[in-house]
Amino acid sequence: MKNLSRSSPQSEEAPRNALKRIGLEHLDCVTYAIGDVHGCFDELRALEQQIIIDAANFPGDKLIIMLGDYVDRGPASSGVIDHLMQPPPQGFVRFCLAGNHELMMLDYLEGRVRLAEWLGYGGAQTLASYGVDVSQYDQTAAGQEALNVLVRKNIPLAHLQFLKSLAVFIEAPGYLFVHAGLMPNIPLEKQGDTLLTTIRSEFYSQSHLLDRLVVHGHTPVEQPIYEANRVNLDTGACLTGRLTGMRIWHHTGRFLSNRPGGLVRPALVASEQQS
């Protein structure tokens, strides 16, 4: 297994490369968006099974869009990445978007931030899933250097490549899938990856100005929210054990859960005028 060879972050590292942005000509197949996983591998597999069962009722191709934040806080970040690197369920195409937690992990691995900053994001749980116990290393320079070496030894190069391959959003007529949101009054091409993966209040307070439905995660909520041209699918899986997705088909939607029963309340998600 190839691993990362750098031993510590360096201040002269180049800025992060911009992530790809995906445009679809139409959204004419049944589409499933999945909210923040945060290391909850069992919950992800359970929700995928619910999606497979549900998708059997629809013809043609199927699409899964992962909304980002696969790592940190939960117990199995490494397993989640391994899973998402594998082919999707038969008959599905899967796109994976970046969340702010993937960008933090990438920034650490490429030397733009120090380990302490990532640990403040919940990185210790991610490192534990790679067999690294950060509590075993003291705060001395030697201890932190040894920890940096072990982290780069234990995280496969393929996982770094996965992080670098993520898209920041997918847009289709009437829809935008993105981790956190956007500024409604600024052209999308002028909004950077950091804004699109971290924005909160400015997006929520102005979402009534949106000209499309934005499907996002990022801010944990008790129940999935549909309001003012946005849908929030982050139901805090690492805290509640509840991972939420949404099926979109012919401008209507229905929420799904990993919990028994699977289907949750329906939601109207877009109008014909937006398509």
Asked, for residue 210, whether it belongs to a domain, the answer is: yes
pTM > 0.85: yes or no: yes
Bigger pLDDT: 272 or 73?
73
When computed from its CA atoms, the radius of gyration of the chain, rounded to whole angstroms, is 19
Asked, for residue 119, whether it belongs to a domain, the answer is: no
Q: Quick one: residue 91, left, alpha or beta (phi over 0 = left, psi -120 to 50 = alpha)?
A: left
Neighbours of 194 (CB within 10 A): 14
Task: State residue 275's pLDDT score.
Answer: 28
Looking at residue 189, the DSSP 8-state letter turns out to be: G
What's the rounded Cα separation, in Å, for the pair 159 and 4? Answer: 10
The tokens 């971290």 sit on which residue?
198
Asked, for residue 35, whether it belongs to a domain, the answer is: yes
> In a 3-state reduction of DSSP, which class is residue 257?
strand
Q: How confident is the model at residue 206 (pLDDT cuts 50, 70, 90)?
A: very high
- What's the pLDDT tens digit per position in 159-180? 999 999 999 999 999 999 999 9
What's the rounded Cα separation, in Å, for the pair 185 and 203? Answer: 10
As a whole number, mean pLDDT of residues 87-115 equals: 98
What's the rounded Cα separation, in Å, for the pair 166 and 168? Answer: 7
Count how many domains the chain has.
1
- What is 79-138 written as a DSSP string? HHHHHHHSPPSTTEEEEEB--HHHHHHHHHHTTSS-HHHHHTTTHHHHHHHTT--GGGS-
Asked, for residue 14, whether it belongs to a domain, the answer is: no
Instruction: Give the CATH number of the domain where residue 185 resides.
Output: 3.60.21.10
Neighbours of 198 (CB within 10 A): 16
> Would the pLDDT of 61 be above 90?
yes
Asked, for residue 147, whether it belongs to a domain, the answer is: no
Contact in structure between 177 and 234 (CB atoms under 8 Å): no
Asked, for residue 215, whether it belongs to a domain, the answer is: yes
> Would the pLDDT of 154 be above 60?
yes
Asked, for residue 265, whether it belongs to a domain, the answer is: yes
- Structural domain including 187 reads 21-100+158-274
Task: State residue 259's pLDDT score.
Answer: 87
What's the rounded Cα separation, in Å, for the pair 33 and 40? Answer: 16
Asked, for residue 177, whether it belongs to a domain, the answer is: yes
Task: State residue 2's pLDDT score.
Answer: 63
Average pLDDT, the chain: 92
